[in-house]
Every structure is written in structure tokens, then in C-alpha cells.
Structure 1
Amino acid sequence: MKYLFNYIIFLLFINVSSAQSIIDTSISTSQFSILFDSDKHTIRDSFKVQLDSLITKWHSGKETHLVLKAHTDSIGSDEYNINLSKRRLNAVTAYLEKGGVSDTLIVSNFYGEKLPTVDNKNASLRQLNRRVEVFVSQKTKAKLLVGRVVDAKSNQGLKSHLDISFGNEDQKLLTESDGKFELLIPLTNGIEIVANAENYFFRHLKIKPQVLANLDSIIIKMSKMDIGSKYSLKGLNFVSNKCIILPKSIPILHRLISTMTTNEDLCIEIGGHINLPNRPKVTNQSDYYDLSLSRATVVYDSLVNAGIESVRMYTKAYGNWEMINPKAKSEIKQAENRRVEIEVVDCADSATIHNEQVRWPAIHGYKVR
């Protein structure tokens, strides 16, 4: 049976229970369509390239399963089109088998003109309906993961939207009203998870496959957007000693923009922090202080450019004054110190507080708006 993995969210707290059994299943890895000329079942050379690539993958050692679905446009009788779709299916199946793909790993069907992908009103659109759809899946190890999304303070369940990125797939899942969910998790790769709940900070996490292998259940604690509550933008990373956001961190910034757009009454302080452990606190005249300010300002500028009103936010530099780990030695602990932190504030305050100006933009790579 093929499972399309619709998944989960960010976990701040993990419960690990006794290991559940690992099961064999299949995961959808890709899909594409082979298009045909009108009233023809001959495979075009351009589409043979895609089939050849699929055959190569099949011979790579990973057991690949295929689902083939053949279709026609609306020109011709129902009976004729059923037979035409069957001929197209047979042509693709024969090509794959000639390349060495076992017919025992192919599931197929033909539908004639019954399932058009677009309207048949003109020649260009009819071309898209003359097709054999190819769905590719691979065997993998998986396990069932159960979880619940809760308020961090009250432990009350939260109905949440969960976005999952796994391999080349992006999936969405809505939890039950009490925050409960069940997921069939493949163990071959890690997953990237984002959770959103109304009036709560979004959560984001990348979970490695070796971590997934030891998880049976999780509790996801989310922080409410109360005045004074803080949220560290984990995963928002910068070029070393610069305020330039790394490309891989841009999705985190987009999540913050989405949160500010969705919650129109939310006002925030954007705090910049640096890592300088086992050292005295820097002064507000130092370039370290200015680095923390420039990083906060880059986030502020991005929000303004996205249409967020400037009166809803302001920046503040903290240098190394509020490090999470002031005596950090390991890279993990030091990374926790390097952060941009969001604090919910009263909108009356955000409207009146003026931003401090970055003093040395050239040093930190800051581009003045």
C-alpha cells in the first residue's frame, strides 16, 4: 500500500516511549506524464528520455514501484478512446519492460476520455489530456508516530495547521480539535516541520532520521502571543560576523512575515543578540553591539518591505548582554546565543519607540534602505 505522508510540526518537548515496530511501506517520490500525438500511441523521443532515467533509477538497487494511468482527449467515441488509452498504456509498459523493469512492480489501468486533467475545448488543452501518468514510489522503512500540540503553559490541546517537507514533497495536515495527530513517518530521510496555531508563535524544526527512529510519541508545546512573551527565530542564521541572512534561512523569515500578516494586532520588538561568552558585556559603542543591531535591523527591513507597518515593530540591540549560555564552550551552546529574538509588546509602545541607527553598515554588510 502506498502512503502519501501528510505530517506535522515543531517540537519543543519530546516524550520517548518504548520503540514501536518498524514497518515496510512505500513512499511517493515523483510523478510525470508521457504525452501523445492525436490518435497515436507511439512514444515520442523526448519522453523516452524520462523513461530511460526511470529505468536507470530502477536498476540502481532501490526497489521502485510504478503506477501507470492512461488517458485520451475527447475526440472519438467512448469505446474507441478506451482502446486507444489501452494501446498507450501497453506502449509505455512494453518500453519499461524492455529496459528491464519487472512487470510485477507495475500497477496500471486505462480510462479513455473519462478523467481529463483539463478542459478539452481547444487543441492545446486536448494535448495535455492525451497522456500516460507515471507515479513512482519506493519501498522504505516507516513507523507510526502519535502526538499532540498543546499550550506551553496550560497543556491544553491546540488545533493546529502542520506543514511538512519530506524529500521533494510538501504536505499539510490539520490536527484534531484537541491537538492530537497520527503520522506514518518514513525513516529514510529527515523531515522539516512547521506548526501554526491562531494567536501562537509558529514553530519550525528539522528532525534527522536517527532521531525519528527513536520516537514513538511527541508533545509539541507552543507559546501564546501574550505581551512580554519571547520567541527565538531558530534556524535564522547569518554569514559569520555579518548581518547577511543565509539563503537556507529565508523560509524562516517568510514565516515571520506570514505571522505578522495574519495577526494584524501583533506588535513586536526585534532583538539582536550575539555570541561572546566568557567575556565582559560589550558597550553600546562597540562593533559587536552594532552587529547585533544590524541583524535585528535586517529583519525589520524585510518586514517593512513585505508590507508590515513600521509602527507595529522596532529594533533593539542586546550585544552579548542576554546570552542564553554566558559560559558556553560547545558550538551548540554558542549557536543558541547567536539569535534574533521576537518579543510581543504593546502596540502603543511600538508606535512611539524609534530605531537606533546602524553605525558601521559596511563592516557588517548592512545595506541602508
Structure 2
Amino acid sequence: MLRLLFSLLVYTSPLLLWAQVMGYVDSVEVHRTDTIYFEFGSDELDDTALTAVNALAADRPGALELYLEGHTDAVGSDQANDDLARRRSENTRQSVLAAGWPEEAVELRYFGENRLAVRSAGKERLNRRVLLRSGLPRRYARFRGRITSEDGTPIPGGAIARSRYLKDTVRADDQGYYELILPLDMGIRLDIYARGHFFSSQTLILSEGKPVPPLVTKLSPAIVGSKMKVEDLYFVGNQTNLLAESAPTLPRLLQFMRTTPELRIELSGHVNNPAEPQGPGSWSYNLAINRAKVIYDYLVKFGIPKERLSFKGYSNWEMVNPKPKNSEEMRANRRVEIRVLEVVEPGN
């Protein structure tokens, strides 16, 4: 059954400042949340509520469990409202079961008027509700990481964690420390940002009982003349289309531009063509330009000012693998990099 309250365990390491996993909690990996509403004094689901229940039941990937939470408005006695909230939850449960949700995967609760959505002593439709939350019980780790510059100086940046049903953003303190609640035994993409620095991305899989070394992310400074190869930003051969697995990299690049408003950058396009250098007007040269423009257009579309961006093609002049031996090395040549052209502090 679902457990919506965290139950924190005792720390297992005395080195709290450097412990990457500081403890564990039980919670729910939420898939979706729906709310249905009731007429005053009624416990019957209307057509709108039934439609919502059927949609919820149809959207059940895997073995999700369901938590039902009944509520009322504040009109009437506490006992009467507790009974009404219970009936609303029970009737919703019957409708959920009729729609195909397994009986053993439903948990029912009711709170009467104790958890009002709108603070009102009168009739209020938004309080007459049942909350339906589907998800998976999952064990989580209290995770601590640190952000520093290359020389070890703490940076008060931020971290974004993503997994199948998770997206969480936190800020690091003045010492570069941040904490996240992360699911165990699942791939988590962790993106680290800080103003004036290039970003870093990596995948974590945390498992209880398997200690890992402290995670300290050292970010490279984004100074004039520096450049960054954007990991996982690759293209289909001979095309300007990104590989499907590269699409999630675009929001990371967008976040980088939002985190570093002082930077003006060049998007540098490259191709895989292990031949003689192909100059202006050649097919390879134009392909490199157009690949860089794809990323430029994306950033402009989502609000990055054009004056902060430029794009340029480098044909096959700077292949990371001049003589590629396999598909991975060829893919690495088909890329777009970031080059810092200017650093302009706000107000200058």
C-alpha cells in the first residue's frame, strides 16, 4: 500500500559533511493526481467524476497503486462530515474497481472537514472532493552532493534531478552543498549548474547498502575563449536531425543559458567526414552550419536573446576522431559545441 508520510531512518555514517547518502525514507513515486468533486451533502459520483475515474484507471502503466482521500466542506458536525467523507471515498473506490483497478492496489482514507482546500465555514465545492493519487511505493535516499570550481572553491549553484516520474530542482548553499531525495535502484540524471561555469551532467543509480564515494562536481569556468563539448548532443549521419536520445539534452543547454545570463556564445557545428578539409560552399561545410543553426533556433524559440547567440560551421576541420574506427567515434564527430565569445556583466 502507499505510504505518503516520510519515515526517516537513522544516519549510518558519522561523516555527515561528506556522506553522499545521509539516510533513507519511504514515500511514493507519483504517476498522476486527480480530484473529483461532489454536490453538497452528496456521496454520489456525477458523470464528470466517473469520466475522470475511468481515465485514471485507463492510465495505469505497470503495477501502480492508488490512494483515495475523501473530504467535505465545513458545513455540519464533525461526525457527519467524517461519515460523508468516508462514503465519498468508498463510492469512489467502487467506481475505480468497476473501471478495472485491482482491489488489492487501492488504499482508502478520509478526513472530513479537517483538510480544507479553501478555508471557508460555508458551502464550498472545492472542499467537497476526493483526491486520487496513483503511484509506486518506493524507497528513497537523502542524497548530498557538492559543487566546486576546478580548484575546489565552493560554488553556490544548483542541481536538477530527473528520473521517470521525478523532476526536482534545488539550490546549493554558500559552501556548495545541496540535498535531494532520490529514488533507489533507478537511473537518475543529475545536471549541475552555476553562474560563470559550464554545466555538468551524469547518471546516478543509488542502492541501499552499497556505499559510494562523495559526489563533488567540479565545474569548468566559462571564460572568453573556452569551449565545451555538449555531451549526448549528436546528429543523424548526413542530416541536421538530432538522434532521438539526444533530444533531452536541449533543455539542459537551455537551462545553462538561463543560468549564465552574462555569456555570449557561439554554437559550433561539426561533421564526420574523414577526408581532405572541406571548405566554404562544400556540402560538409553547409551541413555543419545547419546543425549549429538547429540548436540556435531552439534556444531563440525558448527565449534566449539573439544577441547572446551566434552559430558557425567548422566542416570536418576539428573532428574529435580524425580516423573513426566505429559508429560511436563517427557519432562523436557529428556534434555542436559551445564557445564563449564574451562575458558581459548585467548593467554593463
TM-score of the two chains, using structure 1 as the length reference: 0.70
The alpha-carbon deviation at position 257 of structure 1 amounts to 4.1
SS of 1:173's equivalent in the other structure is strand
Q: Which residue of the other structure, out of 128, 152, 155, is the alignment partner of 1:155?
A: 152
In 2 relative to 1, CA 261–168 (structure 1 residues): closer, same or farther, beyond 3 Å? Answer: closer
SS of the aligned residue for 1:346 comes to strand
Alignment partner, residue 82 of structure 1: 82
Matched, 1:224 2:229: no
SS at match of 2:136: strand
> Shift of the alpha carbon at 1:212?
11
- Residue pair 2:144, 2:178 contacting (<8 A) in 1 also: yes
Say whether residues 1:293 and 2:289 are aligned partners: yes
The RMSD of aligned alpha carbons is 4.2
Q: Which residue of 2 aligns with 1:72?
A: 72
What is the CA-CA distance between 1:132 and the residue it aligns to? 1.4
C-alpha spacing 1:247/1:117, structure 2 compared with 1 (3 Å): farther
Superposed CA deviations along residues 6-65 of structure 1, whole A, max 9, x for unmatched, are: xxxxxxxxxxxxx99x989553233322332331112343355257558x77xx7x4x55
Change (3 A) 1:233 1:122: farther
Query: SS at 2:233's partner residue?
Result: coil
* Residues 75-84 or 161-170, more deviating: 75-84
Contact 2:271 / 2:335 at 8 angstroms: preserved in 1?
yes
**Aligned with 1:40 (options 42, 51, 72):** 42
8 Å CA contact retained: 1:69, 1:111: no
The residue type equivalent to 2:284 in the other structure is: Y
Q: Is the 8 A contact 2:184 2:207 kept in 1?
A: no
1:270 is the counterpart of 2:267: yes
| Matching residue of 2:309 | 313
User: Residue by residue, what CA displacement relative to the aligned partner does 1:291-346 show, whole Å, maximum 9, x if unpaired?
Assistant: 11111123334444555444433322212222222233233333222211111113
How many Å separate the matches in 2 of 1:138 and 1:215? 25
Q: How does 1:1-369 map to 2 (within 5 A)?
A: 2=4, 25-30=26-31, 31-44=33-46, 45-49=50-54, 52-53=57-58, 62=63, 65-76=65-76, 79-93=79-93, 101-102=103-104, 106=107, 108-112=109-113, 114-118=114-118, 126-140=124-138, 145-151=143-149, 153-205=150-202, 207=203, 216-217=212-213, 218-245=215-242, 249=246, 252-277=249-274, 279-306=275-302, 308-346=304-342
C-alpha displacement at 1:142, in angstroms?
A: 5.5
Structure 1 CA distance for aligned equivalents of residues 302 and 55 of structure 2: 39
What amino acid sits opposite 1:70 in the alignment? G
The Cα of 1:154 is off from its aligned counterpart by 0.9
- Hey, what's the Cα distance between the residues in 1 that align with 2:74 and 2:142? 43
Cα distance change on mapping 1:49 and 1:303 into 2, 3 Å: closer
Give the superposition deviation at 1:120: 6.4
1:70–1:110 contact (8 Å) kept in structure 2: yes
Q: What is the one-letter code of the residue matched to 1:136?
A: S
Aligned pair count? 324
Distance 1:222 1:308 in 2: 22
In the alignment, structure 2 segments of 5+ residues that lack a partner are: 7-19
Residue aligned with 2:289, SS: helix
Alignment CA distance shift 1:324-1:122 (3 Å) = farther
Identity across the alignment (%): 28
Change (3 A) 1:216 1:3: farther
Secondary structure of 1:233 counterpart: strand
Give, as a single letter, the amino acid of the residue that structure 2 aligns with 1:155.
G
Q: How far, CA to CA, are the matches of 1:344 and 1:295 in structure 2?
A: 18
Write the letter of the residue equivalent to 1:241: N
TM-score computed with the length of structure 2 as normaliser: 0.73
Distance 1:149 1:115 in 2: 40
1:138 maps to amino acid: L
The answer to whether the Cα contact below 8 Å between 1:66 and 1:106 also exists between their aligned partners in 2 is yes
Following the alignment from structure 1 to structure 2, what is the Cα–Cα distance between the partners of residues 119 and 339?
Answer: 55
What stretches of structure 1 of length at least 5 have no aligned partner?
5-18, 349-369
- Tell me the distance in 2 between the aligned counterparts of 1:214 and 1:242: 43
